[in-house]
């Protein structure tokens, strides 16, 4: 089977979505690691009402001072853990390139970020707050992954459909003239081209419905519509619709040429009343 039309935009989109899917899986895995390891941190509650005076035994002062240093060290470990896991994914610099402070704000929100950036000690409350924020970030990756899976399947279906609709057109598209073609063959070709046009119209309507139903997954770094976010590196925002429009125009031009040939044949067969 010779294929004259190739849905190039759709195939480029498939590669983009596949890459984004792999990266999203890596990020979800990174947040899972962050949460699991943070959950293993043993943190003691701090009594903010405790005060020290001259009568406090030296041993208690030393124990509380050591505990404070330990909690502070744990907070430093939390920050390092975040760098190792979330910011440690292979594509992080290329995709985001933000600093630790910026990343924390994006992922956990300004309030939680302020707590981890400005606190001196890791408390049970702060640890639980970070775990909760990490779970939200992980769930956002899961939501994005579902959207990417659906989009990848839709692109694969579009690629197959457009490839089939654009197949076996070489003779029609390369013909410089249809004047030598039999009327019966021209009529068959015209019917086939028209059917393919109608199928393209149906695909376009279906794709428009899909786009209207799409929701932007709740994840960070996305201030765009889903298709704009995905295909910002492509010359078109809607690759499926762009390829459908291109094929439709190709089919319509070919059909109009066939129509012209049929009309010429009909006119040529009309006898003059003076003969």
Confidence (pTM): 0.80
pLDDT per residue as tens digits for the range 28-80: 999 999 999 999 988 765 544 444 444 544 343 334 434 444 556 888 999 99
DSSP per residue, 144-170: HHHHHHHHHHHHHHHHHHHHHHTBS-H
Measured distance CA(12)–CA(190) in Å, rounded = 31
pLDDT of residue 247: 97
pLDDT of residue 69: 47
Q: How many domains does the chain have?
A: 1
273 is a domain residue: no
274 is a domain residue: no
Measured distance CA(131)–CA(127) in Å, rounded = 6
pLDDT of residue 59: 42
89 is a domain residue: yes
pLDDT of residue 268: 54
CA distances from 146 to 12, 21, 139, 220, 245 (A): 20, 9, 11, 15, 28
Give 3-state DSSP helix, strand, coil % of the chain, rounded to 5: 70, 0, 30
pLDDT of residue 201: 98
67 is a domain residue: yes
pLDDT of residue 267: 58
pLDDT of residue 20: 95
pLDDT of residue 48: 45
pLDDT tens, per residue, the chain with 275 residues: 455 789 999 999 999 999 999 999 999 999 999 999 999 988 765 544 444 444 544 343 334 434 444 556 888 999 999 999 999 999 999 999 999 999 999 999 999 999 988 888 899 999 999 999 999 999 999 999 999 999 999 999 999 999 999 998 877 877 767 777 888 898 999 999 999 999 999 999 999 999 988 765 555 555 568 898 899 999 999 999 999 999 999 999 989 988 888 887 665 554 444 33
2 is a domain residue: no
| Structural domain for 159, as ranges | 8-48+56-268
160 is a domain residue: yes
23 is a domain residue: yes
pLDDT of residue 1: 46
Name the token pair of 76.
Answer: 């430093």
pLDDT of residue 266: 64
119 is a domain residue: yes
């Amino acid at each position: 089977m010779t294929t004259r039309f190739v849905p190039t935009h759709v195939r480029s989109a498939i590669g983009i979505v596949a890459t984004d899917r792999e990266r999203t899986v890596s990020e979800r895995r990174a947040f899972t690691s962050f949460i699991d390891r943070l959950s293993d941190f043993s943190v003691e509650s701090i009594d903010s009402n405790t005060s020290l005076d001259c009568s406090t035994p030296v041993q208690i002062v030393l124990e509380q001072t050591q505990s404070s240093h330990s909690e502070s060290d744990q907070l430093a470990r939390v920050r390092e853990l975040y760098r190792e896991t979330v910011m440690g994914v292979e594509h992080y610099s290329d995709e985001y390139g933000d600093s630790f402070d910026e990343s924390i704000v994006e992922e956990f929100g300004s309030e939680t970020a302020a707590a981890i950036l400005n606190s001196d000690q890791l408390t049970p409350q702060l640890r639980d707050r970070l775990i909760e924020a990490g779970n939200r970030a992980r769930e956002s990756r899961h939501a994005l992954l579902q959207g990417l899976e659906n989009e990848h399947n839709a692109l694969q279906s579009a690629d197959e459909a457009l490839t089939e609709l654009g197949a076996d057109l070489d003779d029609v598209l390369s013909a410089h003239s249809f004047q030598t073609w039999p009327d019966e063959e021209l009529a068959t070709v015209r019917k086939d081209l028209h059917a393919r046009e109608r199928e393209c119209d149906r695909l376009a309507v279906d794709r428009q419905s899909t786009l209207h139903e799409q929701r932007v997954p709740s994840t960070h770094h996305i201030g765009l519509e889903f298709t704009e976010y995905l295909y910002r590196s492509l010359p078109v925002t809607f690759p499926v619709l762009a390829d459908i429009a291109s094929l439709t125009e190709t089919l319509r031009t070919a059909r109009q040429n066939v129509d012209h040939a049929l009309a010429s044949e009909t006119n040529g067969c009309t006898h003059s009343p003076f003969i």
